[in-house]
Amino acid sequence: MSDIAIKVENLSKAYQLGDFSTGTLSRDLERWWALMRGKEDPFLKIGEANDRAVKGISDVVWSLKDISFDIEQGDAVGVIGRNGAGKSTLLKILSRVTTPTVGSVKVKGRIASLLEVGTGFHPDLTGRENIFLNGAILGMRKTEIKKHFDAIVDFAGVERYIDTPVKRYSSGMYVRLAFAVAAHLESEILIVDEVLAVGDVEFQKKCLGKMNDVSKGEGRTVLFVSHNMGMISQLCNKGILLKNGNIISYNQTQEVVARYLADNNDSSLNTFVFPADQKKTVGQFLNFEIVNAEGAVADKISFDDSIRLNYRLQVKQYIPGIQIGIGLQDKLQNRISTFTKEINVGNGDIIEGSIKLPDSIIAPNNYNFVIAIWNKNGEVYDIHENIGSVTIVDNGTDLSLYEGKDYGAVILKAIWE
């Protein structure tokens, strides 16, 4: 385990729903007797995967189920997955906040963790006292903590309140100080859950820069949980994708993010079949779908991936100058761009075609489309508004830290001088 910072073998974690007893004295005694003999808890055998969308029949759920992986020293690993996938449970076990039900975790070095607002802080102690308390918990001497004290306070930006009990801090101040302590005290492993979302954008940028320095500059190991794929892509060189307590993928970050987006695509949102309408005597759309570069119907597409719009329509009679158009619009129905094409067919001809939108231009956000058939005089023969739902996902642009903010409809590559 010379270059392995964290080694996880056959790790599982079960939780009992509802009451903590089994419901009867005889079953409680049976469980106790099994544990006393070092045997497996007999009632864990009927446990189920932690899928919150499905009604279960057991009161035991596996938050993590038989996962194994190694993390090398100096790696920055992003842990991603939907809510309830087991991300926070994994970090709590690695941070020794809770114990596994089955399996083992071997860690080389000291761990500094930031799992939720106020982790490791005593509310009645001042910021100064909590810095020394956290350092002591990590096994550091007072002289070592003093060496980093000024840098911690400066990074957190709470110098004015450093001698105030932290129970009077806002949640943002709490997180600023807690992150500063975890990042500056000399631990070999830094574990950060998605608490950084509490802080403001500038502080998030500051934290990401510090974690980058910790990983690439100081060679420390970082585990980072976030739903912001852009942050994960910028910071982490590897990723772990969890689903219902199982590892679906452990690979290079870009591959894991792509797998996460593929697994969470809802094709039903972007496949449309329009019924024949006899009132539409000139032309009408028959089908429309939104697909990614691989040709799969998708509602989540990476910023650097291309969007292809497939359509099928019928032109029932020939009229010179018939146009088809597809408009891209944001979630407030503001038109971003319109793409048009003239067609010269008729007599019931069916046209199948597609249009490829440029990649790495449409800014990460939510979009939909309007499709129409009309003539040069502006007479509309068929129109469908606000159809489809596609989310452009930031997977590592310079604007990753501002995900969720309005930074425009397109990202253009400019030359700075």
Neighbours of 217 (CB within 10 A): 9
pLDDT in tens, 265-293: 888 889 999 988 888 889 999 999 999 98
More reliable by pLDDT, 129 or 319: 129
Residues 228, 250: Cα–Cα separation, whole Å: 18
pLDDT in tens, 149-192: 999 999 988 899 999 999 999 888 888 888 888 888 778 899 98
Tell me the domain boundaries of the chain: 4-109+188-263, 267-395
Q: What is the largest CA-CA distance in the chain?
A: 88
Q: Where are the beta strands (DSSP E) in 331-409?
A: 335-343, 349-357, 366-374, 380-393
Residues 288, 289, 293, CA angle at the centre, nearest 5°? 140
pLDDT-derived band at 321, boundaries 50, 70, 90: confident
Pairing type for strands 307-315 and 335-343 reads unpaired
The alpha carbon of 367 is separated from its chain's Cα centroid by a whole number of angstroms, namely: 19
Q: Which of 202, 256, 210, 216 is nearest to 233 (CA)?
A: 256
End-to-end CA, the chain: 49
Residue 123 is given by DSSP the state T
Phi/psi at 190 (nearest 5 deg)?
A: -115, 125
- Percent of the chain residues past pLDDT 70, beyond the cut: 86
Residues 275, 153: Cα–Cα separation, whole Å: 65
What is the predicted pLDDT for the residue at 17?
60
Residues 75, 307: Cα–Cα separation, whole Å: 33
pLDDT in tens, 372-410: 999 888 899 999 999 999 999 888 887 776 666 677 888
* HEC letters along 158-174: CHHHCCCEHHHCCHHHH
Q: Which two tokens stand for residue 257?
A: 């993010």
What superfamily would CATH give domain 4-109+188-263?
A: P-loop containing nucleotide triphosphate hydrolases (3.40.50.300)
Whether the model clears a pTM of 0.85, i.e. scores above it, the answer is no
What is the sign, positive or negative, of the torsion defined by CA atoms of 158, 162, 168, 174? positive
Q: Which of 243, 181, 224, 179 is nearest to 206 (CA)?
A: 179
Query: For domain 267-395, which CATH number applies: 2.70.50.60, 1.20.1250.20, 1.10.3720.10, 3.40.50.2300?
Result: 2.70.50.60
Q: Which residues pair with 309 in a beta bridge?
A: 290, 355
Residues 214, 210: Cα–Cα separation, whole Å: 6
